Amino acid sequence: MVPRSKARQIRTAKLRSAGVASRGATPTRDANRGEAQPIRIGGLARRIAYLSFAVALAFGAQWLLTDPLFQVARVEVRGARYLSQSTVIQAASVVGTNILRVSTAATRARVMSTGVPEDVLVDLVLPNTVTIVVDERPAAFLWKSGPSTYAVSDDGTVLGVAATDHPAVMVVDVDARPVDVGKPVDVRLLREAAYVMQTIPTAAAFSPGSVDLSATLGVSVVTTDGITVAIGDDTDLPGKLEALGPTLFAARQSRPLPTTIDLRFAGHPVFR
């Protein structure tokens, strides 16, 4: 028989041993598996959510790029005076295109290629409208060919049929050669015409209404009493116009009244 005191010591030792084993125990594999399971389920749920979002995004993009609602059906043109709306719309070439595929830079370049605008602004308005604002070059000259009078910019570009602009210099092409809107005419002739219009009132005391251009005489003007003054090209233009005053005075003293004063050969003015 174990003494009572010895029995108490044995029980105390067993209790301590059980406590140590409980505190230092390593989790079992089954316990670890039970704890990791929620993490794996959460990761799968996130993957499913991402995949669903990607599918929805792809479907939405496909819808935006193919739905007729977003095909350009209307083009608003603002600011154009010389270019017609139909010309701008045709040059822009966006009608029927999905608005999300329209490049504003490329559209601007196509409208600028008409030669008339100084600048172009393109704006996209959902779901299907494109707005084009055209800032055209100002007219510096008028060019008359046949029955039509065209506005021409300072660099010689033909802008279109003249509307409300009234430049001081008009060149009349007596030979009525065709001109193309957006294409240049000879800017050197325009500069000569402007100089003639500015200088003749001082040099010869009359103001021509226009400057004529022909293959035969080159640049010429007509006096108030009907005498044609042939100037030719711009060679020694100041010298030619300086001789016009005294030559015109002498011509008006002659009888019959001459019909032409020829200044084309600098230093040798003649009238006939």
Residue with tokens 């660099």: 155
Residue with tokens 């506005």: 151
Residue with tokens 């005075």: 249
Q: Say what the pTM is.
A: 0.72
pLDDT digits (tens, 9 = 90+) for 84-118: 999 999 999 999 999 999 999 999 999 999 999 99
The pLDDT of residue 175 is 96
The pLDDT of residue 185 is 96
Burial class (CB in 10 A: 0-12, 13-18, 19+), 234: middle
Residue with tokens 């050669």: 177
- The mean of the pLDDT values for the chain is 86
